[in-house]
Amino acid sequence: MDKKDILSKLPYSKPFLFVDKIIKINENGVEGEYTFDAALDFYKGHFKDNPVTPGVILIEVMAQIGLVCLGIFLLNDKLNSNSLIALASAEIEFLKPVFPNQKVTVISQKIYFRFGKLKCKVSMQNEKKETVCSGTISGMMI
């Protein structure tokens, strides 16, 4: 399965698609990018006159790239239109803010994939290669 196939199977569309590019992917992990467009609706109110990307959106970016893209890759032929990939848990530490128009890179390493549950160690870096947030995310592949 190539990178374009994975992107086409993502169960999201704009404005809730937070994957621009998969840099690399294999059975042990994935690396991908996303740039936060300043026109995204949540910036209008978070925070007034000083927009910052909400933490829940940062977790969503890490989940879409680091968990869902990897899950699609790992499931490959077993994935069909009825398949669901749902977030089960996230334990994330936030270290730096992410502002509008910033590009981030998500790096995910598989901890395990068994009995339909995928757990990954994930980190997000800004363009200066500084860690923005990191932790673990797990999801169920049904």
Q: Which residues are catalytic?
A: 46
SS3 helix, strand, coil % of the chain, rounded to 5?
A: 25, 40, 35
Say how far apart CA 17 and CA 51 lie, in whole Å: 20
Strand partners, 26: 29
Answer for the pair 40, 119: CB distance below 8 angstroms, yes or no. no
